[in-house]
Chains A and B, each alone.
Chain A
């Protein structure tokens, strides 16, 4: 596989469920990102990892918990979400220092009931 791969593509969960989103990049990049895309709102940066270390948490609620075990994999663990958390969650990667040149996955469409 090439590029940035996200799984699952679609996820429906209840407010009390625990689920995880997975992202894998095959580009040899060393920075990974989670973005949230909601209707009628700009893309919101959630987390940034450089060389597996979290360098930015954009005031994201603790019900979203990221994990970056290595430079190629990024997870977003979800717990006790709210309906307003329903959105498209996009993973991206880049070389460190080239944050403008992002390579995005196709996203995970999350619906919270």
Chain B
């Protein structure tokens, strides 16, 4: 079954430290990949997307992600964490065999940032 896996339900970092949130997909055909963020009591907001162009994708708030086909991964990184980055992050995929018409989400990773 086609799916997306986020490793780690919680990730804790100190302010100023590197942020790394992991996402792996399972598919023989490269999908479109997305990262969304959800702040407390809010809906989800698109951070960045990969749609078969450049493999290194830059998003909002200093986040970026790299598509690695050999590793079937799309990990999210930010060089220096800020307190305001504390939120839940969701990796999501859509597949060509569905016409990219639906999005499948991972279970999410809660990012905790300490002073």
- A102 vs B90: C-alpha distance in the bound complex, in angstroms? 13
Interface of A is mostly: loop
Q: Are A102 and B105 in contact (CB under 8 A)?
A: no
Q: How far is the CB of B94 from chain A (nearest CB, A)?
A: 5
B30 proximal to A (CB < 8 A): no
- A100 vs B90: C-alpha distance in the bound complex, in angstroms? 12
A105 in contact with B105 given A99-B94, A100-B92, A100-B94 (CB within 8 Å): no
Q: Which range contains the number of A residues in contact with the other chain?
A: 20 to 34
Determine which of B43, B46, B92, B103 lies in contact with A106 in the assembled complex, contact meaning CB atoms within 8 Å.
B43
B41 proximal to A (CB < 8 A): yes
The residue of chain A having its C-beta at the shortest distance from the C-beta of B39 within the complex is A106
A104 in contact with B44 given A42-B107, A42-B108 (CB within 8 Å): yes
Determine which of A48, A56, A105 lies in contact with B43 in the assembled complex, contact meaning CB atoms within 8 Å.
A105
Which residues of chain A have C-beta atoms less than 8 A from B108's C-beta?
Answer: 42
A40 in contact with B107 given A100-B92, A106-B42 (CB within 8 Å): yes
Which residues of chain B have C-beta atoms less than 8 A from A106's C-beta?
Answer: 41-43
A66 proximal to B (CB < 8 A): no
Q: Are A41 and B43 in contact (CB under 8 A)?
A: no
A4 proximal to B (CB < 8 A): yes
Which residues of chain A have C-beta atoms less than 8 A from B99's C-beta?
Answer: 97
Give me 17 other A-B pairs in contact (C-beta within 8 A), A56-B101, A102-B46, A103-B46 excluded: A41-B107, A45-B104, A48-B102, A92-B43, A97-B101, A99-B101, A100-B49, A100-B94, A101-B34, A101-B46, A101-B49, A102-B36, A104-B43, A104-B44, A106-B41, A106-B42, A106-B43
